[in-house]
Structures are given as C-alpha cells and as structure tokens.
C-alpha cells in the first residue's frame, strides 16, 4: 500500500509540472512601426487566384450564368455549380471562351467581363463570387474553425464574433494574426484588453489568414490538475483492488 501511495503522489507531481506548448512559436512579429504593418490595416480587396472556385451571374441571362445569385437556382459549393480557374488562372466562360481572371480583384474581374460580354449583350450586369476564400481561427474561442469570407471582407472582431467569442481562458491581450507576405509567414500580435486604438487593432483579414487566441496560464494549471485527479482516481482504484486481493 505504501508503494501505491508513493506512486500516486509521484504521478500527481509529474502531471502538475507538465506544460502545454503554444502554437506558432516564432519571433517573426510585426511592429506597428514596420512598413509591413500596413499590410494588416490597409483595405485590400482579395485577389482572384488560380484554383479558385467562382460563380458568375449575368442579370437576365440565366443561360449564361454559372451558379447565378439572381434566381432560385442560386448556387454554393454544395451544389456543384461553379467554375474552377485552371493553373493559368483562366475560366472557360459561355459564349466568350477562356478568359484570364487571376491577378484581378473581384471588381476588376466584373468590369473586365462586362466589357467582354458587352460585345454580345446590351449593358450586362455581372457579379462574380469566390466560394473558397476563407480564414481560420484557432485557440481560445468557443467555435474555432475555418470561416468563409462571403462578402470578401471580414474584420478581426467580426471573425471573433462568428466564432462565438472568447472562451473563459482566452488571453485577450495576445491575439495573433498570421499572414503570408511575399512568401514569408509574419505575425501581428493584437491586444483587445483596452479600447485605445481599437480601430487600428480591428484589422481587415485576408484569405488564408490564421488567427490564434492564446490561453491564459490558469488553463494549463486547471488542465494539469484535472489530469492529476484522473490519474489519482485510477491509482486509488487500483490500490483498493490490490488491497482486496491481498486479504
């Protein structure tokens, strides 16, 4: 019994000493004085890229539309009504054939196709929608996961709202936004503990951005305590069984 008691104490001490390593450990932070910081606060419309899934609506011309948003046959990813841009960033469109759309913003692509279709239609109204632009939020929020940017623009606060807000263990002065800039992952750390400079902190996210909300140290302690309690319970049960068998 003495051996089992010592084992229980040892397991509790070991469990209480373990720590959880945070995600995305890097020193590649962006300072507000860095020119790269402008990448996070300037309004930049997302760019259409090769491999993107798009729908195209031409008002009054459902036969030329693909996944039109103008009728009861509106489409999304689940219905299979979309076009995928090839490796050259081209889409094969009804009546006008292949047109390169990658490298353009959605507004630029709409304007370009209005000119193209304007040769065969009178004053066409065109609406392109990208179906696969998304951002990811991880860590201490109530509903972490991947969220589609339906209107091609979403702010950091809006994303936190979509993910049902911070969990009780969220470290709201250590929210990290990770973005790929010129092939390099950079990280901006944002604090929502104070209202000062809230507009500047409420940055606009871009497709493929990752937001990570770090946990408070108290969560690590609580998790370790819970693990220790489980281990202690198992060992206590084992001790009872052994004591019965040894009678």
Chosen CATH of 1-45+133-247 out of 3.40.250.10, 3.30.70.20, 3.30.1380.20, 3.10.560.10 = 3.10.560.10
Phi, psi at residue 169, to the nearest 5°? -100, 5
CB-neighbour burial class of residue 31 (10 A; exposed 0-12, middle 13-18, buried 19+): exposed
- Domain extent listing, the chain: 1-45+133-247, 53-130
Q: 1-45+133-247 with 53-130: one CATH topology?
A: no
Domain 53-130 has CATH 3.40.50.620: no
pLDDT at residue 72 in the model: 46
Tens of pLDDT, residue by residue, the chain (247 residues): 555 454 555 555 444 555 555 555 555 555 555 555 666 666 677 889 999 999 999 998 888 888 755 444 444 555 557 889 999 999 999 999 999 999 999 999 999 999 999 999 999 999 998 888 899 999 999 999 999 887 677 889 999 999 999 999 998 888 889 888 777 888 888 888 776 666 667 788 888 999 999 998 755 555 555 555 566 566 566 655 656 566 6
**In the prediction, which pLDDT does 211 show?**
95
Rounded distance between C-alpha atoms, residue 53 and residue 113, angstroms? 17
Q: Which of 139, 123, 147, 136 minimizes the C-alpha distance to 212?
A: 139
pLDDT at 191: 82
Say how far apart CA 230 and CA 178 lie, in whole Å: 36
> Which residue matches tokens 């951005």?
209
Q: Tell me how far CA of residue 92 lies from CA of 85, 96, 123, 199, 239, in angstroms.
A: 8, 8, 21, 41, 72
Where would I find the H helices in the chain? 2-17, 38-41, 106-117, 156-162, 198-201, 217-245
């Amino acid at each position: 019994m003495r051996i089992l008691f010592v084992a229980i104490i040892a397991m509790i001490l070991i469990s209480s000493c373990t720590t959880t390593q945070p995600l995305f450990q890097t020193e590649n932070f962006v300072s507000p004085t860095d020119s790269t910081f402008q990448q996070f606060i300037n309004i930049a419309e997302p760019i259409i890229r090769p491999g993107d899934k798009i729908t195209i609506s031409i008002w009054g011309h459902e036969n030329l539309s693909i996944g039109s948003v103008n009728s009861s046959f509106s489409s999304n990813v689940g219905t299979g009504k979309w076009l995928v841009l090839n490796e050259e960033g081209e889409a094969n469109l009804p009546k006008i054939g292949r047109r390169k759309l990658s490298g353009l913003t959605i507004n630029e692509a709409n304007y370009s196709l209005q000119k193209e279709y304007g040769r065969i239609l009178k004053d066409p109204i065109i609406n392109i929608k990208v179906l696969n632009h998304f951002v990811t939020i991880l860590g201490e929020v109530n509903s972490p996961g991947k969220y589609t940017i339906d209107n091609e623009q979403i702010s950091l606060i809006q994303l936190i709202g979509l993910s049902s807000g911070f969990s009780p263990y969220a470290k709201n002065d250590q929210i990290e936004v990770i973005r790929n800039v010129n092939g390099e992952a950079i990280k901006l750390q944002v604090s929502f503990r104070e209202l000062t400079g809230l507009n500047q902190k409420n940055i606009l996210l871009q497709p493929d951005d990752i937001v990570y909300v770090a946990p408070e140290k108290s969560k690590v302690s609580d998790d370790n305590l819970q693990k220790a309690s489980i281990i202690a319970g198992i060992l206590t049960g084992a001790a009872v069984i052994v004591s019965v068998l040894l009678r």
